Amino acid sequence: MNEHLNTNSSLDALINSGFLNQDLIEEQYALYKQNPSQVDPSWRPVFASLENEKFNDSISQAPFPQQNESSALYQPYVAVASTSPDYRIAHLVEAYRTFGHLAAKTNPLDSNSSSTEEIEQLRLENFGFTKNDLSNSFPSHGFTKNPTAPLNEILNELKATYSGCIGVEYMGLHSPDLEFWLQRQIEHKDYTATLSVEQKQTILQHLNKSELFESFIHTKYVGQKRFSLEGSETLIPMLAAMIDTGAGLGIEEYYIGMSHRGRLNVLANIFDKSYSDIFSEFEEGYVPASVEGSGDVKYHKGFYSQIKSIHGHNVSLTLTPNPSHLESVDPVVEGQTYSRQVLRGDDVTKDKIAPILIHGDAAISGQGIVYETMQLCNLDGYATGGTIHFIINNQIGFTTIPRDSRSTTYCSDIAKIFRAPIFHVNAEDPEDCVFVTNLAIEMRQRFHCDVFIELVCYRKYGHNETDEPAFTQPIKYKIIRDKKPIREIYRDALIRQGILNKDVIAAMETEFKSSLQQAMNTKNSVVKIHSDTDELSASEKNEELFQRVETGVPKDILKEIGTRLCQVPEGFVLHPKLAVLLRERLAMVKDVDSKHSIDWGMGELLAYGSLLWNGTSVRLSGQDSCRGTFSHRHALLVNQANEQGYIPLKNLKQGQGRFDVYNSPLSEYSVLGFEFGYSIAAPEALVLWEAQFGDFSNCAQVIIDQYIATSEQKWSQKTSLTLLLPHGYEGQGPEHSSARIERFLSLAGDSNMLIVNPTTPAQFFHLLRRQILRPLRKPLIVFTPKGLLRHPACVSRLEEFTKGTFQEIIDDPNPPKRTKRLMLCSGRIYYNLIEERERLAVDDASIVRIEQLYPLNVERLKEIIGRCSTLKECVWVQEEPSNMGAWNFIRQILRDLLPKSVELTYVGRMRSASPAAGSHAAHKREHAAILSSLFGTKDPLMYDTYGNLKA
Ligand SMILES: Cc1ncc(C[n+]2csc(CCOP(=O)(O)OP(=O)(O)O)c2C)c(N)n1
C-alpha cells in the first residue's frame, strides 16, 4: 500500500465498499500524484476530493441517515451519502458500472423492465441526492463532453452506457487491466455512430439470411423439425462479426460447439454449407451419402469448412458433431482446440485457434458439465486461451420457464466463478449485439479470458416446429406471435435513419430468396452411394481388426530407453524409495536375472518411451496420473529439495515425440470429454485417460455412450483414445473393484472399440504400441491392474518386449496332455487359477486367457477348442457377479463354438445388485468359494443359467 494511503484513509473506505479494485486505485492514484493529466478524467475528481478533504473524520462522524422503507436492509451507501458531492458522484458512477446491468433493457419480451430507480443499488437517495439535485452541476467523470454537467445529464449517460440494451458485468474480476480496458471501450466509444453504411448493410444481410432461411424451410417442409433460430436470428450477424473481427486479430481456426437450436442456420449461413445439401436432408427417404455408418439426425452432425473473412483472411471452421445430451460437447470442443493448438505450435500464445461454445439458457444453467468444463479454463495442459460463450437465452427450455430452471439471477452466473466478463444484450438491437461480440473477441485475444455473451431473445415456435408452446405459455406466446421479426425491426430502423432505401433492401431480400429457391431446385434426391467400406466383406474387416503388427522393440533400444527412464539431472534429490525403485527398474532393463523381470509400471513406461523414441506423441491425463494412484508409475519425479519436477519421458533424446502427463482436476466427465476431443484432432498421437478407479468412469458415462462408443457410427469420427480403468476384485468394497466390464461389452457392436483385460506387462506394452502402430483407429478400453502391479508372477522378461505382438487370446503355456476341462477366464483371476491348479496338481484342465474380450478372436478360440480333443466341459470363470463381467457377453458365443457334447458352465460370484462385497472377509469367502467350486475341493456351487445360486 502506498504510504500516503494508510489503512485509515477514506480511500480504504472506497476500496472496502467493494466497488473498486485496490490495485487499480493505487496504481491510478500514484499516477495522479505524479501528474493529474496521467489518469483518465473520470478519476481526477475522486482523487482531488481525497486530497482536499478530511474524509476520515467526515465518514466516521457522519450521522446515520434516516432509514426509509425500501432501504431498510440495504445500507452500503449511508456513509457515502454524507460525503462531498464529488465523491458521491464517483460512487454513483461506480454503482452504475457494477449494478447498471440490473436495469438494462435487454429483454425483448419485457417492455416494462425495471427502471434504474427501481434498482435499490442505483437509487439516487443512497448517494445523498434528491430530485432537486438533478439540474445541479457535478463532475461528469468523462460521461459528458464537459468536465461538469447537470446530474440529470450525467445520469442519462450512465443509463445509456450501463442500462441500455447492453448490460455488462465486469467489475471485481480481479483483473485490473481487463476491467480498465473494458471500461474504456464501453464508456468512451460511440460505437453505433462509427458503423459504416456497409457494416450496417452487412448486419442486415446476415439477418436476411438468418430469418429468410428459416421461413423458407418452414413453408417448404411443413411440420419438420429444424429447431429454428427465429427469435434469436441475431446470432448469425454476431457469429459472422466474431469470425471477421477475430480473423483480423490473428485467429485462423475456430472450433465451435452448439446444440440443436439454430444449428442448420449456422451451417448454412456461417459455414457456407450449401442450401441444396441442407434441403436434401429434409427430403423423405434421404439416406446419407458416403461412409457414415448408421448416421445421425441433421441437427447433430458436424461440419468443416474453409471460408474467407470479410477482409480476405482464410479462416477454417469446425462444427463438432454432438449428441442430444446438452452441453456434453463443451469439453470435446475444448480438447479439440487444445490439441490443434499443440499440433500447430499455438499452445503458448493461443492466438490462432479459438473455441466458441453456444449454449441454451436452460442447459447452461442446469448441466454440471458446464462447470466441469469451465474448471479446465486456466489449467496447464487444458487451457485454450479463452472461450467465447454465447448463450441463446430464449427464456424457455422446452416448456420450462426460467423460474423453474435455475436459482441464479442470470443464466450466465456460472461465469462469475471464473471471473469471466459477461454481456447481456437485447437480440432486437443487432448493432449492440455486434458491438459486444467484437469486444468479446478482442478481449479474448488481448487477455485470453473466457467471455460470455447472453443473447436475450425469444423462441418463435415451440421447442421444435411441431410442438405447441401455448399449451403451457399462452400469454407469453401471444406476445411472441405479435412480435415483428428482428430483421424487420432493423430493416425499418435503417430506412427511418435514411441509411438504406427501400429499393435496395427489397433487392437484397429478393436476391436472397431466389438463391434459396434455386438451391431448392437443384437439391439432390440423395440415395445411398456405396462407399468402398460398404463393399468390404466381413472377413476382410476381420483381417483389419486382427491384423498382426510387429510391436517388439530391439533390445538395445529398450535398454537405452530404460536407462534414460532411470536417470535424473545432476543434483536432483530423489526420495530414497524412488532411488531404490529407479535402481530396480534399471536392473529390469539390464536383464540381470529373472528376479528382475519387468513389472507393470516399467512395462508401461517402456511402451510410452519406445513410441516417443520413434517420434510418436503421447499424452496421459487423469486423477493423480503423474505418480499413479497406486504409486506404480512415477512418470513425474519430484526433487525433494525444492519440489521441482522432472519427467524422464520428456528427456529421452533429441527429436523424440512430445510427452505430456497431467494430473487432471477431479472430474471424469469433462476430462474424458476433453481427451476425446484431443484425440480426434490428433489421430497420430497416443492419448490416454486414466480413471482413478475404474468405477468412476461412469461419471463420464455420457462421453462413453454418446462419443467413444458411437462416434464412428454416427459421425465417421475415428479415435484411438485409450482408457485405463483399474479393475479387480481385491476386497476393497463395492466401489473400488469393478470398472464395469459388462457396461463396455453391452456397448460393443460393429467393431466400435477394443475391450481388453491384459494380464502381463508385455501384453500391456504390445497393446499400447499396437494402438498406434496399426493404421486402425478404434477406442481402446483397458482394464488395468491394482494388486497385480506388485504381484511377483505378473512380470515379463525383456525378451517378451523385443518381439511378437499383442495376443488377443493366450493359450495355456503348459497345457496338459489330455484336456478334459477348459477353464476360460479374463484378467487377474488367471493367476489364482494357475496357482490352484499347481497346488492341487490338477492334470486335466487347460487355463486360457481371453485378453481381448471385444472384438473376440473367434478363429483363435476355435483353434484352441480344436486342440482339446478330449474336452468334456468348458467353464467360464470370473470374479464378477454373474450379471456383471463378461459372462453374459460370452456365453452364447461359447455355446455356439463348443461341440454339443461339451458342457458349458459358469463359476463366479452370484447375481448381485452391488458389484462387490463390503467386507474383506466376505470377499475372501467368495473368492475361496469360486476356487473350491471350480476345482471341486468342495461341493461345487450350482448356478442356474442366470448365475443365481440354486437352492
Ligand atoms: C442432458 C439433456 N437433458 C435433457 C434433454 C432434452 N432437451 C432437449 S432440448 C431441451 C431444452 C433445452 O433448453 P435450452 O437449453 O434453453 O435451449 P433451447 O431449446 O431453448 O434453445 C431439453 C430439456 C437433452 N437434450 N439433454
pLDDT in tens, 369-418: 999 999 999 999 999 999 999 999 999 999 999 999 999 999 999 999 99
Closest residue to atom 12 of ligand 1, CA basis: 397
- The preferred substitution site among 258, 398, 405, 701 for testing ligand 1, maximizing ligand atoms within 8 Å of CB, is 398
Cα distance between residue 752 and residue 772, in whole Å: 16
Residues in the chain: 951
Stretch 707-711: mean pLDDT = 97
Q: What is the pLDDT of residue 46?
A: 63
Q: What is the pLDDT of residue 7?
A: 33
**Quick one: which atom of ligand 1 is closest to the CA of 405?**
16
Among 306-320, 528-542, 789-803, the least confident range: 528-542
Q: For the chain, give the percent of residues with pLDDT over 90.
A: 79
How does DSSP assign 593-644, residue by residue? -GGG-B-HHHHHHHHHHHHHHTT--EEEEETTTTT-TTS----SEE-TTT--
Instruction: Identify the residues whose C-beta falls under 6 Å from ligand 1.
Output: 261, 324-326, 360-363, 392, 394, 396-398, 459, 463
Nearest to 725 by CA among 683, 647, 779, 655: 779
C-alpha 330 – ligand 1 centre gap (Å): 14
Task: Look at 114 and 424; give whichever has higher pLDDT.
Answer: 424
160 to 452, 826, 877: CA distances (angstroms) = 21, 70, 75
Tell me: pLDDT of 533 over 50: no
Predicted model pTM: 0.90
Say whether 547 sits in a helix, a strand or coil: coil
Burial of 493 (0-12, 13-18, 19+ CB in 10 A): middle
Q: What is the pLDDT of residue 811?
A: 97
Burial of 364 (0-12, 13-18, 19+ CB in 10 A): buried
**Quick one: which atom of ligand 1 is closest to the CA of 702?**
1
**Quick one: which atom of ligand 1 is closest to the CA of 325?**
26
Closest residue to atom 17 of ligand 1, CA basis: 360
pLDDT digits (tens, 9 = 90+) for 896-935: 999 999 999 999 999 999 999 999 999 999 999 999 999 9
Average pLDDT of the chain, as a whole number: 89
C-alpha 325 – ligand 1 centre gap (Å): 8
User: Cell numbers 471452421 correspond to what residue?
Assistant: 317
647 to 172, 686, 842: CA distances (angstroms) = 38, 17, 47
Say whether 710 sits in a helix, a strand or coil: coil
pLDDT digits (tens, 9 = 90+) for 196-251: 899 999 999 999 999 999 999 998 888 888 899 999 999 999 999 999 999 999 99
C-alpha 267 – ligand 1 centre gap (Å): 20
Cα distance between residue 939 and residue 949, in whole Å: 13
Q: What is the pLDDT of residue 17?
A: 47
Closest residue to atom 9 of ligand 1, CA basis: 398
> Which residues contact residue 638 at a Cβ distance below 8 angstroms, ignoring those fewer than 6 apart?
575, 644, 645, 646
- The preferred substitution site among 463, 465, 473, 703 for testing ligand 1, maximizing ligand atoms within 8 Å of CB, is 463
Closest residue to atom 22 of ligand 1, CA basis: 398
Closest residue to atom 20 of ligand 1, CA basis: 397
Tell me: pLDDT of 681 over 50: yes
pLDDT digits (tens, 9 = 90+) for 436-467: 999 999 999 999 999 999 999 999 999 998 89
Q: For the chain, give the percent of residues with pLDDT over 70.
A: 88
**Quick one: which atom of ligand 1 is closest to the CA of 463?**
19
C-alpha 402 – ligand 1 centre gap (Å): 13
> Which pLDDT band holds residue 42 (cuts at 50, 70, 90)?
low
pLDDT digits (tens, 9 = 90+) for 138-171: 999 889 989 999 999 999 999 999 999 999 999 9
Q: What is the pLDDT of residue 81?
A: 65
**Quick one: which atom of ligand 1 is closest to the CA of 397?**
13
Q: Are 471 and 399 in contact (CB under 8 A)?
A: yes
C-alpha 362 – ligand 1 centre gap (Å): 7
**Quick one: which atom of ligand 1 is closest to the CA of 324?**
25
**Quick one: which atom of ligand 1 is closest to the CA of 361?**
16
pLDDT digits (tens, 9 = 90+) for 733-751: 999 999 999 999 999 999 9
C-alpha 463 – ligand 1 centre gap (Å): 9
Tell me: pLDDT of 41 over 90: no
